[in-house]
């Protein structure tokens, strides 16, 4: 007869404990190592593009004899700040308008420049245009739910021609695992369920294909169980 006071749960063996420790180490090391590798590679790529354009007099390698990775990023930041400072002034704005009029006369170049400018303004411009909240919508049909981002209230012809009696919201539904692509959809306000999770947490959920959920106790840290 078994004694109910004794714990009969078998203890994991040595191999199981080593496997658990190894997986835990991978979870700790992989994000750190991948981040360092990406930053190191990006710094090397920027150096390879920027440093050949820098006069040899300003290159630190001439004086210390060592190739310091990341110096190109510093030169790029300084150059970008100077260009932005000039562009904010009256002369800079005039030069930009004049250059854009010249570009508008070049059919192929005009298309490339216009697209690149729109992307840059959307991603980097300091404006109030941004996603408001994460949400749930039924897409591509009723009963199937998708995570989306509330963009703005629909205006103009979209709002007037849509057959709905309530406000129409523009929702961006991203794809997995690349959230920069997706679908622009318009939903009546009552069909959009706002989520409490932040935009960053919703983006992590999309990128991880549903593997990383916000922890209800600590929304900034997903629960990881490697048992």
User: Which pLDDT value is given to residue 139?
Assistant: 94
| Mean pLDDT for the stretch of residues 41-63 | 84
User: Which pLDDT value is given to residue 223?
Assistant: 46
Over the chain, what HEC string results?
A: CCCCCCCCCCCCCHHHHHHHHHHHHHHHHHHHHHHHHHHHHHHHHHHHHHHHHCCHHHCCHHHHCCCCCCHHHHHHHHHHHHHHHHHHCHHHHHHHHHHHHHHHCCHHHHHHHHHHHHHHHHHHCCCCCCCCCEEEEECCCCCCEEEEEEEEECCHHHHHHCCCCCCEEEEEEECCCCCCCEEEEEEEHHHCEECCCCHHHHHHHHHCCCCCCCCCCCCCCCCCCCC
Lowest mean pLDDT among 123-132, 164-173, 184-193: 123-132
Give the pLDDT band of residue 137 (cuts 50, 70, 90): very high
Statement: the pTM of the whole predicted model exceeds 0.85: no
- The answer, yes or no, to whether residue 224 has pLDDT greater than 50, is no
pLDDT one-digit tens code per residue, 115-132: 887 777 666 655 555 688
User: Which pLDDT value is given to residue 189?
Assistant: 93
């Amino acid at each position: 007869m078994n004694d109910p006071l004794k714990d009969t749960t078998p203890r994991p063996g040595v191999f199981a404990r080593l496997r658990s420790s190894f997986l835990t180490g991978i979870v700790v090391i992989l994000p750190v190592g991948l981040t360092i590798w990406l930053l190191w590679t990006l710094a090397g790529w920027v150096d390879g593009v920027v440093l050949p354009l820098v006069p040899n007099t300003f290159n630190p390698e001439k004086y210390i004899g060592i190739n310091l990775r990341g110096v190109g990023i510093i030169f790029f930041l300084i150059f970008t700040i100077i260009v932005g400072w000039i562009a904010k002034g009256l002369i800079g704005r005039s030069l930009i308008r004049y250059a854009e009029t010249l570009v508008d006369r070049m059919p192929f170049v005009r298309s490339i420049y216009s697209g690149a400018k729109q992307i840059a303004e959307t991603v980097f411009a300091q404006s109030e245009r941004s996603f408001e909240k994460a949400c749930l919508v039924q897409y591509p049909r009723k009963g199937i739910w998708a995570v989306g981002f509330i963009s703005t209230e629909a205006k103009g012809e979209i709002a007037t021609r849509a057959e709905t009696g309530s406000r129409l919201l523009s929702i961006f539904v991203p794809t997995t695992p690349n959230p920069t692509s997706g679908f622009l959809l318009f939903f009546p306000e009552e069909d959009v369920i706002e989520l409490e999770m932040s935009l960053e947490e919703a983006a992590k959920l999309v990128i991880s294909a549903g593997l990383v959920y916000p922890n209800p106790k600590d929304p900034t840290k997903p629960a990881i169980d490697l048992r």
